[in-house]
Amino acid sequence: MLDIDDHFRLIEKAVLSGADETSASWRTASWARCLQDYKLDPSRPQLVDLSSREIRSERDFFDNDVALATSELESTLMMIEGGGYSAHLANCNGVIIAERRSKDSTYYCGTDRIGAVWTEEVGGTNGIGTALKNLTPTAVYLSDHFFADLTGQACASAPFFGPDGSVLGVVNLSTRNPGVPQLAHRVVYGVAQITADRLETAYFRKFYRKYYTLTLNIEQRSPAIIAVDSDFRIVGATRNARAQFRLDDSSIGSRSLWGVFERIRSNPTIEYLCENLREMRMLGSGNLIDVVLKRPISASPAAPSGGAFTSGKTGRARPVRKITSLAECAGNDPQMARNLNILKRVFGSGLHVLLLGETGVGKDTLTRAIHYESGRAAGPFVAFNCSAVPESLIDSELFGYSAGAFTGASKDGNSGRIVEADKGTLFLDEIGDMPLQLQTRLLRFLETQEVMPLGSGKVRMVDVQIVAATHQNLNEKVAAGTFRQDLFYRLAGTIITIPALRERTDLDFIIKTLLDQANEGGSPVSISNRAMAALLAHSWPGNIRELRNVIARAAKLASDGIVQEDDLMLTPAFSPRSGPIPPVAPAQPNRDVVVPTLQKKDVNLTIPSKIAAHNAERDAILNAIKLHGGDAVACGKALGISRATLYRKLKQYSLSLSGR
pLDDT at 320 over 70: no
H or E stretch covering 160: strand 154-161
Handedness of CA 5, 9, 12, 14 (dihedral sign): negative
* DSSP category for residue 149: G
Q: What is the mean pLDDT of residues 149-173?
A: 93
* pLDDT band for position 597 (cuts 50, 70, 90): very low
89 vs 186: CA distance, rounded Å: 19
Torsions phi, psi of 232, nearest 5? Answer: 65, 25
How many other C-beta atoms are found inside a 10 Å radius of the C-beta of residue 423? 12
Q: Using an 8 Å Cβ cutoff, are 296 and 212 in contact?
A: yes
Among 455, 435, 443, 442, residue whose Cα is nearest residue 393? 435
pLDDT digits (tens, 9 = 90+) for 471-492: 999 999 999 999 999 999 999 8
Q: Give pLDDT, residue 187.
A: 92
210 vs 130: CA distance, rounded Å: 35
Q: Are strands 317-319 and 450-451 parallel, antiparallel or unpaired?
A: unpaired
Looking at the chain, the whole-number percentage of residues with pLDDT higher than 90 is 34
pTM of the model: 0.47
Task: Look at 123-127, 280-284, 398-402, 476-480 and tell me which has the smallest mean pLDDT.
Answer: 398-402
pLDDT digits (tens, 9 = 90+) for 27-62: 999 999 999 999 999 999 999 999 988 998 898 888
pLDDT at 587 over 70: no
206 vs 210: CA distance, rounded Å: 8
204 vs 160: CA distance, rounded Å: 11
Q: What is the mean pLDDT of residues 102-120?
A: 91
pLDDT digits (tens, 9 = 90+) for 364-383: 989 988 888 888 877 888 88
pLDDT digits (tens, 9 = 90+) for 396-421: 778 887 765 555 445 556 778 888 88
pLDDT at 569 over 60: yes
Domains of the chain are: 4-196 (3.30.450.40), 208-318 (no CATH), 326-497 (3.40.50.300), 500-579 (1.10.8.60), 582-660 (1.10.10)
Distance linking the first and last C-alpha atoms of the chain:
73
H or E stretch covering 518: helix 507-518
Sequence-ordered list of residues with C-beta below 8 angstroms from that of 25, at least 6 positions apart, any chain: none
pLDDT at 538 over 50: yes
DSSP H helices, 334-464, are 334-346, 363-372, 391-399, 417-420, 436-448
Q: Give pLDDT, residue 390.
A: 67
DSSP H helices, 106-264, are 120-123, 127-134, 182-207, 239-244
Q: Give pLDDT, residue 517.
A: 77
pLDDT at 191 over 90: yes
Among 147, 144, 122, 142, residue whose Cα is nearest residue 132? 122
3-state DSSP call for residue 153?
A: coil
* pLDDT band for position 300 (cuts 50, 70, 90): very low
pLDDT at 23 over 90: no
Among 308, 465, 314, residue whose Cα is nearest residue 375? 465
